[in-house]
Amino acid sequence: MIFETIHGLSKKLAAKELSAFEATKAYLNRIETVDKKVRAFITVSHEDALKAAVEADKRLSDGDRVTPLTGVPVAVKDIFCTSGIRTTCASKILENFVPPFDATVVKRLKDAGAVILGKNNMDEFAMGSSTENSAFFPTSNPWSLDRVPGGSSGGSAAAVAAGECAASVGTDTGGSIRQPAGCCGVVGLKPTYGRVSRFGMIAFASSLDQAGPITRDVTDSAIILNAISGRDDLDSTSLKEDKPDFTAGLASGVRGLRIGIPKEYFIEGMDPEVEAAVRAAIDELKKQGAQIVDITLPHTEYAVSVYYLVATAEASSNLARFDGVKYGLRTESEGNLLDMYKRTRDAGFGPEVKRRIMLGTYSLSSGYYDAYYKKASQVRTLITNDFDAAFKSCDVIATPTAPTAAFKRGEKVKDPLTMYLSDIFTISCNLAGIPGLSIPCGLTKDGLPIGLQLLGRRLDEATLLKAAFAYEQATGWHKKRPQI
């Protein structure tokens, strides 16, 4: 049962083959059994989860407000505010912070009847690609415990892969849903910027952050996106466009769909096993009737540089609020107010967060703004234009999710530039604000998952999900499970 899909669990719950309470107990037992090895959770909400399960069983029994998520045990990344449950962002500065309200994503999951099992580990303030930057502990990849699960939503991806929850909701600023999904052999979807509310989601880079599902299969991603997406008046960047039923057109196939292959994403230095698996996946889609089109995204080479100027500048601004006054950590110290600020931020932030605050502050400073942040914003527009031009000749773009499979823990943590290149194929999607999805497409000779990334037009998640579903149904990679 612990590896059942959301739609599979939902059918069993509706047929009374299983109760929400029994399902929740099974997942809590699974967490207790395997999370000592994986360390995917920062906080497990035993009592709250069981209470929610009892309420879900009542809804199922009464037939009241039943949705495909009613009674389904899920988790959320520890970047979403949860009323009465601590929200740490995997940082010492928020270690004991308990919000008085739920993020809109959490509220919508609860409204749909989902059971929240707890909060997943992550890179501190979502800054990282390996979940080694958590202030509390690193998370292991369930496929190989000496490997990273990716990041920053590594705890979410690892929890789903290890059978510790039916699904999780993560966040993606430069690949933080898709890259860990690729590393852990699960499905990860970053929706169009503004498709899902950011209210109550602690900000890293406000023009890039977006919440999305991490699930066992494509249908489950569509189910969660149905629940969490839509206009929210509490978020000024939330889009007003009507949302479709993302599950409706999944099985319509890819015959006639034009799939673009950008030469810039098949580069020297990429793992040959990754390239072979991705090209085999593209061939499978072609076999199903898709048309393969060569495209170019000429400004891709600047994406990493642009991202680490825009994202760090916004992080520098967003993280200024953590000053020891309003909430979170405050160090005891003699001296004036400025001394307290300095000591609190020094004690509360980890090395990667400090590095990015300093980079962002520098690029925004007088005399450097035009040369760095302004120039990066201009090149960001060129990257967006590249995608607009490409989508005139194709409907979906197919690329590797990452240049390699999951790397060994400690391998890149002391070399930030090498770590940053882990997101080289995912960053452009966030800069352009378009949707992206990672789906399992193979295993390396060492038994590590490989991800296929699909990118779509703005607000066209439905086509992405349709293409991913067609590939998924023709292969069995999403059914592979780690032995833990």
Using the predicted structure, report yes or no on whether residue 333 has a pLDDT greater than 80: no
What is d(CA 76, CA 137) in angstroms, rounded to the nearest whole number? 17
Q: Is a pLDDT exceeding 90 seen at residue 326?
A: no
User: Catalytic residue at 77?
Assistant: yes
pLDDT, residue 419, reads: 87
Asked if the structure places residue 401 within a domain, the reply is yes
In a domain, 133, yes or no: yes
Please state the rounded mean pLDDT for residues 30-50: 98
Mean pLDDT of the chain: 96
Residue 420, pLDDT score? 84
Contact 123, 81 (CB under 8 A): no
Active-site residue (options: 45, 129, 130, 176)? 176
Confidence of residue 42 (pLDDT cuts 50, 70, 90): very high
**Residue 377 a catalytic site member:** no
Residue 262 lies in a domain: no
Residue 90 domain-assigned (yes or no): yes
Is 277 within a domain? no
User: Across the chain, how many H-helices and E-strands are there?
Assistant: 15, 11
Q: What is the pLDDT of residue 312?
A: 97
CB crowding 82-108: b at 16 or more within 10 Å, else e: bbebbbbbbbbbbbebebeebbbbbbb
Name the pLDDT band for 287 (thresholds 50, 70, 90).
very high
CATH number of the domain encompassing residue 62: 3.90.1300.10
Question: Does any domain span residue 203?
Answer: yes
Q: Is residue 418 part of a domain?
A: yes
CA–CA dist 215, 439 (Å, integer): 10
Coil/strand/helix, residue 415: coil
Average pLDDT in the 414-429 region?
A: 89
Residue 421 has pLDDT above 90, yes or no: no
For the cut 80, the answer to whether the pLDDT of residue 440 exceeds it is yes
Tens digit of pLDDT for each residue in 291-312?
A: 999 999 999 999 999 999 999 9
Return the CA Rg of the chain.
Answer: 21
What gap in Å lies between CA 238 and CA 201, rounded to an integer?
Answer: 13
- Rounded average pLDDT over 109-129: 98
What are the pLDDT digits (tens) for 395-413? Answer: 999 999 999 999 999 998 8
Domain containing residue 116? 6-257+394-479
Average pLDDT over residues 36-57: 98
pLDDT of residue 414: 82
What gap in Å lies between CA 299 and CA 383, rounded to an integer?
6
Q: What is the pLDDT of residues 138-188, one digit of tens each?
A: 999 999 999 999 999 999 999 999 999 999 999 999 999 999 999 999 999
Is 260 within 8 Å of 347 (Cβ atoms)? Answer: no
Q: Per DSSP, what are the bridge partners of residue 135?
A: none
CB 233 within 8 A of CB 240: no
- What is the number of structural domains in the chain? 1
Predicted confidence at residue 36, as pLDDT, reads 97
Confidence of residue 252 (pLDDT cuts 50, 70, 90): very high
Pairing of strands 168-172, 115-120: unpaired
Give 327: exposed, middle or buried? Use CB within 10 Å, 0-12, 13-18, 19+. Answer: middle
3-state SS, residue 412: coil
- At 442, the pLDDT band (50, 70, 90 cuts) reads very high
> Which residue in the list 152, 197, 316, 363 is annotated as catalytic?
152
Q: Cα(113)–Cα(67) distance, rounded to whole angstroms?
A: 7
Across residues 208-216, what is the average pLDDT? 98
Mean pLDDT of 434-461: 98
The model's confidence at residue 334, banded by pLDDT at 50, 70 and 90, is confident
Catalytic residue among 10, 19, 45, 77: 77
Taking residues 304-330, what's their average pLDDT?
95
User: Distances in Å between the alpha carbon of 387 and those of 56, 110, 186, 210?
Assistant: 43, 36, 26, 19
Residue 352 belongs to some domain of the structure: no
**The tokens of 299 are what?**
């400004």
User: What's the CA gap between 343 and 172, in Å, rounded?
Assistant: 30
Per-residue pLDDT tens over the stretch 28-39:
999 999 999 999
Cβ-Cβ contacts under 8 Å for 373 (sequence gap 6 or more): 309, 310, 313, 363, 364
| CA atoms within 13 A of residue 104's CA, in its CB half-sphere | 22
What does the pLDDT read at residue 18? 96
Q: How far apart (Å, rounded) are the C-alpha atoms in residues 164 and 193?
A: 28
Q: What percent of the chain has pLDDT over 70?
A: 100
DSSP assignment of 70-124, as one string? TT-EEEEETTB-BTTB---TT-GGGTT---SS--HHHHHHHHTT-EEEEEE--SG
What is the average pLDDT across 249-257?
96
What is the percent of the chain with per-residue pLDDT over 90, rounded to a whole number?
94
Q: Residue 102: which pLDDT band, with cuts at 50, 70 and 90? A: very high
Strand pairing class (396-400; 258-262): parallel
Nearest Cα neighbor of 160 from 171, 152, 146, 149 is 149
62 SS3 class: helix
Q: How confident is the model at residue 417 (pLDDT cuts 50, 70, 90)?
A: confident
